[in-house]
Chains A and B, each alone.
Chain A
Amino acid sequence: MNITETSNGAIAIVAIEGRLDALSAPELRNNRSVIDPEKTVVLNLEKLDFMNSTGLGAIVGALNQKLQPDFGIVLSCMNDDVRSVFEITNVQKLFHIFDDTAAAVEFATTRQGAHT
């Protein structure tokens, strides 16, 4: 799995590429922006080919660490296979999911601005 991190103002954009499973989940869990409770992160899942329950656990765990669980982690560009993993566990309700990363960043920025 490859993690590429960029930022847009106060928002971190973390792009995940490849497989998110038991082997690669610790890498996401230990990502500096992901573990920072105050940082709002947009997870770009466009190039995520596969995710299992451990990977899902890592994303939900990251959300639980955030001070703002409503928009601490925002997801974007999820493919159908990954979406079905979220739906099976009914976890999709916890996240705001966008089909466009720019729109996700815009949303996170607006929410953060309104909060501060």
Chain B
Amino acid sequence: MKTILAFRESEYAWVHEKFPCVHPLLLPLCNKPFIEFLIDFAILAGSSAVRILCDGGLGEVERYCEDGSRWGIDLSYASIHPDDSIHAMLGKNRKFCGEERVMIVSGFSFIRYDKRYDYKSFVSSMPPGEWSTCPGGRITLTGVPTKAVPDWLIADLSLMPLDSMTSYYQASMETLKTGESRYVLPGYGDEPECAFGRNVVISKSVEIRKPVSIGNNVQLLGNAIIGPSAIIGSNVIIDRESSVESSIVFDNTYIGEHLEIIGRIASGNRLNDPKSGASIAMEDPHLLSGIKKNRHLRSLPRKIVHACVALVIIAAFFIPFIILWPLLKLGGHWKSSPASFLAERTDETMPLAKVEVDASGAAAAIAVALSLDRYFRLFRVVTGQLALIGSTPLLAGESRPDAPAYVPAYLPGVFSYAEAEEWAATGGDATIVERFHLAHSNPLTDIGLVIKAFINRFQEKSTI
């Protein structure tokens, strides 16, 4: 048997508006992307091949699901016309369908199935036609049944339209409560209704109230209360004495100190009320933290300290720089190209040179070890455009989920906190570490972290 999963952009337009950082088909339900639930169901129904059809882009979905080998099926992708009926979809995918029985799941709706039922026997014995429907979604079977329906066979399911944030919230909470008994869900845990991902750091005083689902690389700090009914995504920090109850926290979100998140969906710097559908973007760098004193006034001591330390570094490395730079430049080991990076303020950019030092040879190795490739950027610290240590500067013009427009906790620096803490300087892990330090560091700890970053780069002798 084969399965076609068909979607139209108009069905999930609300997801683009409310959660712009995630592709609607990868919208997490209990820390598992929506599309995976449908693929699981297709496998339970006995499908050997699944094709995803959409009239919009599928690039992100393709990168995530690839060819389906992870699930042991053949997964392929195709485009449809916005007006295509089910009959037209079958015609357009005739080669894929072949002579086999085909199950078509169309519409952006959640299937309430139960993994304990024998859907495979049920599907192969059902007559062709509609199996289940809901507003905006349906499951249809084509082809001749291969078996007779046994009387004892029960394979109940229903569809739930995901047409708003309210229904998305309901589906997520329902999935969390029914949990492992009905669906295959991510995470590990000895206790029922309690699933944890990898690298979850829980302080001793944290209280966890079931049911909860927690993703990977999560930090729960002192006296935080998680649950009941909390879904925490990956790369999340819940800071001291905050509580998350009956809420969903998306990946890469930072919840500040002393906060209560009850019955909400938090995504980056956006806070959503699933009941009313209201959504607000927080101005403050850290989601829901209290109103802080003037940001520029607060950042002034840090800028002064950073500028002073930068002047010291400029003076200390002046002689090695003035010797090695011309040598490397003439030898072709020092390559510099101009690029535009996002500045601290949203919507502003600044030109910075991207320096690449080919570390083959003693002079180049010394230059990299001494971080001379960052030397010119130190002058930007003196002028206040860059911090000495902060976030990794982001290239302008790239649409990315960690861009300041979505996550305002961004302070571009010569060195990054991720480099100082030896986190892999890629992906969400580094982003969340940088955001944590931006909230908790002070000018003095910054000096220590700069020294750590220097030492780490010296040991790595990496090419930047």
A114 contacts partner chain B, Cβ-Cβ < 8 Å: no
Q: Give the residues in chain B near A90, CB-CB below 8 Å.
A: 56-57
Q: Are B59 and A98 in contact, CB atoms less than 8 angstroms apart?
A: no
Q: Are A87 and B79 in contact, CB atoms less than 8 angstroms apart?
A: yes
Q: Are B91 and A87 in contact, CB atoms less than 8 angstroms apart?
A: no
Q: Give the residues in chain A near B79, CB-CB below 8 Å.
A: 83, 86-87, 92-93, 95, 97
Q: Are B91 and A83 in contact, CB atoms less than 8 angstroms apart?
A: no
B94 contacts partner chain A, Cβ-Cβ < 8 Å: yes
A50 contacts partner chain B, Cβ-Cβ < 8 Å: no
Q: Give the residues in chain A near B20, CB-CB below 8 Å.
A: none
Q: Give the residues in chain B near A93, CB-CB below 8 Å.
A: 55, 79, 81-82
Closest to B58 in A: A87
Q: Are A100 and B95 in contact, CB atoms less than 8 angstroms apart?
A: yes
A96 contacts partner chain B, Cβ-Cβ < 8 Å: yes
Q: How many positions in chain A have a CB within 8 Å of any CB in the partner chain?
A: 19
A27 contacts partner chain B, Cβ-Cβ < 8 Å: no
B32 contacts partner chain A, Cβ-Cβ < 8 Å: no
B interface bracket (residues with beta carbon within 8 Å of A): 10 to 19
- From A83, A88, A103, give the contact of B92 (CB < 8 A): A103
A106 contacts partner chain B, Cβ-Cβ < 8 Å: yes
Closest to A101 in B: B95
Complex formed: what's the CA distance from A92 to B8 in Å? 13
Q: Bits for A18-60, please: 1 = Cβ < 8 Å to B, else 0.
A: 0000000000000000000000000000000000000000000
Q: Bits for B66-89, please: 1 = Cβ < 8 Å to A, else 0.
A: 000000000001111110000000
Q: Give the residues in chain A near B59, CB-CB below 8 Å.
A: 84, 87-88
Closest to A98 in B: B92
B93 contacts partner chain A, Cβ-Cβ < 8 Å: yes
**Nearest CB in chain B: distance from A46 CB, A:** 11
- From A88, A96, A97, A107, give the contact of B57 (CB < 8 A): A88
Complex formed: what's the CA distance from A107 to B80 in Å? 14
B96 contacts partner chain A, Cβ-Cβ < 8 Å: yes
Q: Give the residues in chain A near B55, CB-CB below 8 Å.
A: 92-93
**Total A-B Cβ pairs within 8 A:** 52
Known: A86-B79, A97-B79. A106 touches B57 (CB 8 A): no
Closest to A106 in B: B91
**Nearest CB in chain A: distance from B196 CB, A:** 36
Known: A80-B77, A83-B79, A93-B82. A98 touches B91 (CB 8 A): yes
Q: Are B81 and A99 in contact, CB atoms less than 8 angstroms apart?
A: no
Q: Which of A66-116 contact B (CB under 8 A)?
A: 80, 83-84, 86-88, 90, 92-93, 95-100, 102-103, 106-107
Closest to B9 in A: A93
Known: A97-B92, A98-B92, A100-B94. A83 touches B57 (CB 8 A): no
- From B77, B82, B94, B95, give the contact of A83 (CB < 8 A): B77
Complex formed: what's the CA distance from A97 to B77 in Å? 12
Closest to B92 in A: A98
Closest to B93 in A: A99
Q: Give the residues in chain A near B80, CB-CB below 8 Å.
A: 97
Q: Are A99 and B57 in contact, CB atoms less than 8 angstroms apart?
A: no
Complex formed: what's the CA distance from A102 to B96 in Å? 13
Q: Are B57 and A87 in contact, CB atoms less than 8 angstroms apart?
A: yes
Q: Give the residues in chain A near B95, CB-CB below 8 Å.
A: 99-100, 103
Residue from A80, A102, A106 with most neighbouring chain B CB atoms (10 Å): A80
Q: Give the residues in chain A near B94, CB-CB below 8 Å.
A: 98-100, 102-103
Q: Give the residues in chain B near A80, CB-CB below 8 Å.
A: 62, 77
**Nearest CB in chain B: distance from A112 CB, A:** 15
Q: Give the residues in chain A near B91, CB-CB below 8 Å.
A: 98, 103, 106-107
Q: Which of B258-309 contact A (CB under 8 A)?
A: none
Q: Are A96 and B58 in contact, CB atoms less than 8 angstroms apart?
A: no
Complex formed: what's the CA distance from A87 to B79 in Å? 8
**Nearest CB in chain B: distance from A90 CB, A:** 7
8 closest Cβ pairs, A-B complex: A92-B79, A100-B95, A103-B94, A99-B95, A100-B94, A87-B57, A98-B92, A97-B79
Q: A interface vs B, CB < 8 Å?
A: 80, 83-84, 86-88, 90, 92-93, 95-100, 102-103, 106-107
Q: What are some 12 contacts across the A-B interface (CB < 8 A)?
A: A80-B77, A83-B77, A83-B78, A83-B79, A84-B62, A97-B78, A97-B80, A97-B81, A97-B92, A98-B93, A100-B94, A106-B91
